[in-house]
Amino acid sequence: MATERTRAGQAPGRKSRVLLVDDHPIVREGLARVIDGEADLAVCGTAVNARQALAAVEATAPDIAIVDVSLDGSHGIELVRELKARHPGLNVLMLSMHDESLYAERALRAGAKGYLMKREPPQKLLQAIRGVVAGGLCFSEAVTASVLEHVAGTKRGAALLPMDKLSDRELQILELIGLGRTTRQIAEELHVSVKTVQAHREHLKEKLQLDGATALARFAVNWVESERPGTPSSNRD
């Protein structure tokens, strides 16, 4: 006789193992308290960057990884791609302060099963975790409709906003510029050459229709402040 299974596809009594990937200690601790307070969920590990996350997945075999978009020295979207490449069966839920209009569709294309804003109540997070572990998706109707438009070929590039035209790497560099990183610091943090970062900066100015480095820096700072209220920005480039 087959063993009875829960709706998450697991034997009764087994807790779903959750890996938390976020570079803010307060966020990690808060999430852990919420998750560990549930009878069917348990935090099996934490990580602050991509390197730790990859090691933690190998060591703890989580059922789901909750990944922030902005990480220390790396980017959540890139981490999702690497996690899915190494562990195709791993469920990933992205949790971020960034509005879904900018990152949710990118997260879905990278392999994430859901995208949730950090401002959502804990109960919605728990619902999303259980739904993703059970094999479902957790994206808003707006994101789902946008993806379907792409698949159907009805979404016209001319209608895209300038920010929508940026690659994931360009968005990452724009954020680092807004956080005050110099070109050399960005190159060191992303493990690329200074020339590569300079090329990305030129692409950013072109796509965002900005005239010069000062305009790009001002745009980046304003964008970071709007996306991440309270974040100090002092561009030194």
Residue 235 has what pLDDT?
A: 44
Does the predicted TM-score (pTM) go above 0.75? Answer: no
Q: Which domains does the chain have, with CATH numbers?
A: 16-149 (3.40.50.2300), 159-227 (1.10.10.10)
* Terminal alpha carbon distance of the chain: 67
Dist CA 80 CA 168 (whole Å): 12
The 3-state secondary structure of 64-90 reads EEEECCEECCEEHHHHHHHHHHHCCCC
Dist CA 207 CA 201 (whole Å): 10
DSSP string, 118-168: TTS-HHHHHHHHHHHHTT--B--HHHHHHHHHHHHT-S-GGGS-GGGGS-H
Dist CA 199 CA 173 (whole Å): 11
Ranges in the chain, pLDDT < 70: 1-13, 142, 144, 146-161, 227-237
Q: What is the DSSP letter of 10?
A: S
Enter the tokens of residue 216: 């790009």
Residue 130 has what pLDDT?
A: 96
DSSP string, 21-64: E-S-HHHHHHHHHHHHTSTTEEEEEEESSHHHHHHHHHHH--SE
Enter the tokens of residue 58: 């190998």
Dist CA 51 CA 48 (whole Å): 8
Residue 218 has what pLDDT?
A: 92
Answer whether 76's CB lies under 8 Å from 67's CB. yes
Residue 54 has what pLDDT?
A: 96
Residue 3 has what pLDDT?
A: 31
Looking at the chain, the whole-number percentage of residues with pLDDT higher than 70 is 82
Answer whether 54's CB lies under 8 Å from 83's CB. yes
Contacts of 115 (CB under 8 A, 6+ apart): 93, 94, 96, 100, 103, 104, 107, 108, 138, 139, 140, 143
Enter the tokens of residue 80: 């999702």
